[in-house]
Amino acid sequence: MAIEGADVPVREAGPPHRGGRAARWLRERLRRQNRRPPDRGGRTAWRRGRPTAALSLLVAGLLLFPSRVPGALGLGSLVETFLPWLGVPVPPLLALAVLRRSATAVPAALAAAMVWIAAFGPSPPPRAAGPYDLTVVQHNVSDENEDPAATARTLMAADPDLLALEELTEPALAAYEDAFRSRYPHHAVVGTVGLWSRHPLTGTDRADIRPEAVTGDWDRGLRATVRVAPGRDIAVYVAHLPSVRIRPAGGFDTRWRDESARLLGEALAADRSATVILAGDLNGTTRDRGLAPVTSRLDTADEDFAFSWPAALPLARIDQVLARGAAVLDVRTLPGTGSDHLPVLARIGPEAGPPV
């Protein structure tokens, strides 16, 4: 009902609300940018920096969808191995986009930065705060190691329950046996790989992971049954997969490594043990598609940045500890030895049950 003569304030109609102060500031900046005259090449803010924007979007795409990279010439494995390092070009791309005052490159570079942070940024504390009952040290000791006794002391300082070593040579083997004898009385060696244990070994077998084309004396896998407690046996594998090679004609050649991983995966699939632990130099990260026959059957802790190779400037973790029927709670590297790999320490705990 209208009342004549009532003094009712009337608000003048204005433009609809279009966001807060930050949104208005951004629109104003874009309007100013659009009013800027073109550069010497006649390019506006929206046209400048398109190559920078394209490179930024390429980085973001590789981070989001590395599995889409073709496997030809090992390109997919190469990208997956060094995936965290795709963050290196992001700051220069962002700086270049800002300097160019590009309305296309700045958002693209920011998108690449956010994708990298989401994938590899700070993570919650490792699960190592929970209970663990086994500590495993994995190390490729190098067949060129000039001081195996010093290497043994470094490894024992971590006080592990199990020691898995690769690239053992006849002269170095005697030094390791002498150094470990008092604290690790149980051990097994097959070819160039070995396992030392505080707990009794009730059985040891050769694990056949030899690629078909490899000839000669080549034994780089073993399986041992470890009695960690009365009535509780676990299967422990030690493996050293073939190295990958960068060849001028063949690119990133992973064929032997991938074939060996397939054979190891078949052995793991056939193993009926309730708990299985694999420690070894797998010559690949857990993201590498070539290791899928293994990583699809065993789990490990997040890789983060505990890189193990090369020791002088670690770029990737290719030394792994994985498990089934148990949980790898955290993985970290140890101080360097005389090897070109850093030792890797993993804590193993009971497998988490389903949520209640």
DSSP 333: E
Confidence of residue 127 (pLDDT cuts 50, 70, 90): very low
Helix (H, G, I), strand (E, B) or coil at 140: strand
User: Is the full-model pTM beyond 0.85?
Assistant: no
Cis previous bond, 310, omega within 30: yes
Q: For residues 16-34, give the mean pLDDT.
A: 62
Domain annotation for the chain: domains and CATH numbers: 46-120 (no CATH), 127-350 (3.60.10.10)
What does the mean pLDDT of the chain come to?
86
In this structure, of 5-14, 37-46, 59-68, 163-172, the range with the lowest mean pLDDT score is 5-14
Alpha-carbon span 21 to 299, nearest angstrom: 48
Structure tokens at 256: 């032997």
In 10 A of CB 132, how many CB atoms? 18
Give the burial class of 279: count Cβ atoms within 10 A of its Cβ; 0-12 exposed, 13-18 middle, 19 or more buried. Answer: buried
Alpha-carbon span 185 to 201, nearest angstrom: 10
Highest-confidence segment of 28-42, 111-125, 144-158, 236-250: 144-158
Q: For residues 11-25, give the mean pLDDT.
A: 58
CA distances to 36, 48, 247 from 42, rounded to whole Å, are 11, 9, 45
Structure tokens at 131: 């209970």
Of 272, 268, 267, 300, the closest CA to residue 286 belongs to 300
Q: Answer whether residue 303 shows pLDDT above 80.
A: no
Per-residue pLDDT, 239: 98
Of 333, 214, 251, 256, the closest CA to residue 71 belongs to 251
H or E stretch including 197?
strand 193-197
More confident residue, 254 or 48: 254
Phi, psi of 65 (to 5 degrees): -130, 60
